[in-house]
Structure 1
Amino acid sequence: MALTATLEEQQRLLELQRLDSDTDAARAQMGRLRSDEQLRELKTQANAIAAEETELSGAADTARTELATAEERVERTQARRDQTRSRLDAGQGGAKELQNMGHELETLESLLQDHEEQQLAAMENAETAEDALTAASTRLAAVRDHVSAREQHVQAELQEVAGRGKALLAQRAELAALLPETLIAAYERARERNGGIGAARLEGNISGASGMALSPVELEAIQALEPTEVARCPETDALLIRP
């Protein structure tokens, strides 16, 4: 049995197709926004810098501990040297003891020099570690700002697209109510088979559904149909709306 519809209904079917295509595009856009590549890359970057910051924070803690240990070692050695020097300057003890204290003082002076060099190296290491940690924290804060800004942008886009999609669905429901159920059913079956294309215009001998030219025999068969008989694309079986 031939599928029939008034000329007005057939034209409305093209408008229904437009609304459905726009709705499909809105859904696809929402999918892209939900998996926004730029946002995903920014979050990946932020996570990498956060991991680096954690590692650098541990290194800075270690460097601070090593510096504190070096400073304490210098203080202890200085105290022993100063005590030994005071005793030696005061001449406390016998000649042998004073001689030993002189040797001890020389040893402590040399040891103190080593400890002070180690302290200086520890200070430089701590400063380098702190600078690296500060730089990482600064970079992390900047990237997190970018993440926040991108999230706000994506959310605003999602809301806009969702609102547009809602309006399209409302228009679609209003228009579909004006069309026969049999026409809608045939259109929906064609859409399902053809990846969203259920109806298209016939422009000359070109099917808007397939984008291909109809053969003379196919075109003649369509032209022989009554105006109220709905034509179909020979290639896709989508509904073809004649001018």
Structure 2
Amino acid sequence: MSEVTAQPAVQARLLELQELDTALDQARTQIRRLKADPEHARLRARAQELEDALPELEDAARTADRAGAEASEKAAATRARRDRTRERLEAGQGGSKELQAMQHEDDTLTALLDEHEGAALEAMEAADEAESRLAAARQTLEQARAEVDARAAEVRREGQVVTQRGRDLTQRRTALAAVFPAPLLALYEKARERNGGIGAARLVGRRSQASGTELSPADVARIEALPPAAVARCPESGAILVRG
């Protein structure tokens, strides 16, 4: 067993120190979790996917808009040709054969105009649909970005709370650590480092709360034979055992 000694009342206060250290460890873990917040990461990834898809939708909308404009211009040009032919036809300019040719041209242009106007209507409807899809995608992206910002703000608020709690715990820990003799504090710190954060725990009957196991009768006998000021150690974990 260790030769480090301290009054039983001082040893007992190691349990207070352990409680503060455990709370500090939990705060540090929580800060790490917040920094790598999976929900914030998921929202960021979703917003990035939406943003990456936007250029294709913008290109599709521009292409559809150009196609609509070109189809409308084509229909307008055909209409102008038909109207000029119809004006000449109605004016009765030319001989019989020429008038027959103009009538045929009028019929042809009228049919062509119907085709071009139908194509222009379809192209404009397609442009409207592409613009609607783009507008919806932009709105969805804006909402996704707002969700990212909201989650980031929530994480910051929670982080500020945890950070302040960590500061308070650190101040209390610093004040309490000053109570212990340097050898006892060093022994506690070394045990914490080797034992996953547990430097001191209570011995309840035969059970070590440091390891969660019952000690052998021989180990219990050795601990019971120690003077009250002697520091007992858990044979399983190496943590300081507070008796009584």
TM-score of the two chains, using structure 2 as the length reference: 0.95
Q: For 1:220-239, what per-residue CA distance to the aligned partner results, in whole angstroms no more than 9, with x for missing partners? A: 11111111111111111111
Structure 1 residue identity aligned to 2:66: T
1:164 aligns with 2:161: no
Structure 1 residue identity aligned to 2:118: E
1:120 aligns with 2:121: yes
Shift, 1:108, TM fit: 1.2
Q: For 1:142-184, what per-residue CA distance to the aligned partner results, in whole angstroms no more than 9, with x for missing partners? A: 2222222211111011111001101111111111111111111
- Partner SS for 2:110: helix
Between the aligned partners of 2:98 and 2:201, the Cα distance in structure 1 is: 112
Aligned pairs, number? 243
1:140 aligned partner:
141
Structure 1 residue identity aligned to 2:218: V
1:21 aligned partner:
22
Shift, 1:100, TM fit: 2.6
Between the aligned partners of 1:205 and 1:92, the Cα distance in structure 2 is: 123
2:49 aligned partner:
48
Shift, 1:71, TM fit: 0.8
2:224 aligned partner:
223
Q: For 1:120-156, what per-residue CA distance to the aligned partner results, in whole angstroms no more than 9, with x for missing partners? A: 1112211211221222222222222222221111101
Shift, 1:72, TM fit: 0.8
The percentage of aligned residue pairs carrying the same residue is 50
Between the aligned partners of 1:35 and 1:114, the Cα distance in structure 2 is: 60
1:35 aligned partner:
36
Structure 2 residue identity aligned to 1:87: R
2:70 aligned partner:
69
Structure 2 residue identity aligned to 1:64: D
- Partner SS for 2:214: coil
Q: CA RMSD in A?
A: 1.4
Shift, 1:53, TM fit: 3.0
Shift, 1:97, TM fit: 3.0
1:185 aligns with 2:191: no
Between the aligned partners of 1:51 and 1:125, the Cα distance in structure 2 is: 23
Between the aligned partners of 1:205 and 1:58, the Cα distance in structure 2 is: 75
Between the aligned partners of 1:205 and 1:93, the Cα distance in structure 2 is: 124
1:155 aligned partner:
156
1:97 aligned partner:
98
Between the aligned partners of 2:69 and 2:47, the Cα distance in structure 1 is: 32
Between the aligned partners of 1:182 and 1:158, the Cα distance in structure 2 is: 35
Decide which moves more: 166-175 or 100-109: 100-109
- Partner SS for 2:203: strand
Shift, 1:55, TM fit: 2.2
Decide which moves more: 137-146 or 93-102: 93-102
Shift, 1:203, TM fit: 1.3
Structure 2 portions without partners, runs of 5+: none
TM-score of the two chains, using structure 1 as the length reference: 0.95
Between the aligned partners of 1:142 and 1:150, the Cα distance in structure 2 is: 12
